[in-house]
Amino acid sequence: MAADQGDGDHGDDDADSAAMDRALRSAARMYADDQAAKALGISIDKVAPGRATARMQVTGDMTNGHGIAHGGYIFLLADTAFAYACNSYGPVTVAQGCQITFLRPAREGDELIAAATERVRMGRNGIYDVSVRRADGEVLAELRGHSRTVRPHPGSADKTA
């Protein structure tokens, strides 16, 4: 996994390095158990605090009766990028709601890239935007996700990075 670097301000290098390390550890932990992503060939290309990029190739098994990618697969890719972005801080965080707008169809053979970016995080809540594009840069869908950090159950292992 690659990671975005800071803006060049060296005053917070230690904090930035620790945050990046936490984001990468969280992504590695999640991906180890992410059977859905693995089964669909989704890779996590970039992770940074509040950001993530996921990639997937549309296969024939992902097309619907119209010969285009089923929207559920596009949503799944966007939701995956969203999940890795909102979990980049360590504590287990889940979606509490998402809305997706499909703008253009994807077709068999298309390589799709979903880039998630945090817009705001307050307490245990967050809002993230995800753009799904073809490899040529054309936007296919936009998702807005609302996240919620969950409290560990008493007696359970806290899966924080």
Q: Please, which pLDDT band fits residue 156 given cuts at 50, 70 and 90?
A: low
The residue among 3, 84, 70, 71 whose CA lies nearest residue 37 is 84
For tokens 């504590």, the residue is: 91
DSSP character at residue 52: E
Assigned domain for 62 exists: yes
Assigned domain for 4 exists: no
34-56 pLDDT, tens digit per residue, is 999 999 999 999 999 999 999 99
Assigned domain for 55 exists: yes
> Which CATH number characterizes residue 29's domain?
3.10.129.10
Assigned domain for 156 exists: no
Share of the chain above pLDDT 70, in %: 88
In this structure, are residues 111 and 134 in contact, taking their beta carbons and an 8 Å threshold?
A: yes
Assigned domain for 89 exists: yes
Domain of residue 136 covers 11-149
This model's pTM is above 0.95: no
Assigned domain for 154 exists: no
Phi-psi region of 67 (alpha: psi -120 to 50; beta: other; left: phi over 0): left
Q: Please, which pLDDT band fits residue 6 given cuts at 50, 70 and 90?
A: very low
Mean residue pLDDT across the chain: 91
129-144 pLDDT, tens digit per residue, is 999 999 999 999 999 9
Q: What pLDDT, on a 0 to 100 scale, did the predictor assign at position 155?
A: 65
